[in-house]
A and B are shown apart, each in its own frame.
Chain A
């Protein structure tokens, strides 16, 4: 499964790489490479700004600083190495058991693409794929996902080329502020695969039969776990419809 998600990431990504992670490796992102996307630039800039104080990325090779808990928690488990496969790369992170997958991705692996919205499973901004299935990364513990292939928005593009859905989101103006977009993209990527596999939804006419087509109602229902405060829904539906209707569905349809 993880083979499907192996990406040949350029080296500008602000991540520490896997087994060889060293404390200094978090600074590799400070070199701004040519051809940097706006997102990567902001991410790199943020990482550069915090080097030294480094409050954002908890040390990869040291236990996380103790956090105040009230009341004092009995028998708190210390951080321990947790190995996650993210976008085809292996990350060994020092995590307490209570660290959610979302926080592990953002604060420990440095992958800021996945967004924290409500942090309570109500908005979908944190949607990622685990073994190809879309989940809310805020309501699951990172330690529960050892051995699974995690795909975040950073892993949707292949060899530097945006996925068909990413291109369609741009083409159809399917976002305004963009905060929900990584979750929308991961969710829509899974949606196309789920529909191709013949799954039904609550708006399907008969759960015993495969829905004949991915109608706009089906898209809306299947995307209802992703809220957009800017209200770009009509254009999100258009983008999903366009990719589904094109022969260009490509790997997105199989994710």
Chain B
């Protein structure tokens, strides 16, 4: 028996996600081969922590439930765990994960498209069939659609020409710490065969700064590419804001801001196939405590 796309539900933190176009889940075990003098290879044993990966691709059809903000205005899942599952067979079977952390989040869009969201998760807890087979308990945000007239990209130090596409991505470097299980001697003396599990990290931290990359392409009108020597000496910083609004109500769906980001790359493209376009790439760094200014 097989399960069609309409028979599957992707649940993340108790929310059944909408707009999902693709989900990939995988795990890997790193082994080291054991070789002994006078014998050669005998067996292979794990030599690194288990690690799973989940990639969820979606169309932006609502306020993103994976982008809640903390009271301090930071993305909540920069530091918090995520769990979820792909359910099928009327929600009775599934492939789930626990204790995942977001490792990459990106949004991209071209004129005429609905923005695409890609979310990469690194799983440090359980991963596999039968894990977290639970229905969604939290309502999904209201469905809202943007169109090209309700998406804007603004840069605070110049007026952007017509923008044909943009991408925004944040990459989080995660540092898990694994520890030796601690127990009393009685656990050793009274237990012949033990099943202590030192499988999960005792701490996973995001390594700051979080690198933010913003790229957009403009159809050339007023804008002129800057001279590279001036650019590198001045190294000015800008604020780039991407706003995605509901095409009907103009209500904000999602907004992405690059604060004090620096223009690191400009490229110009001219071809017989289309208009002259300039692509700008900004890079920013989000810190834990000390804001970049």
Bound together: no
Residues on B facing A (Cβ under 8 Å): none
Residues on A facing B (Cβ under 8 Å): none
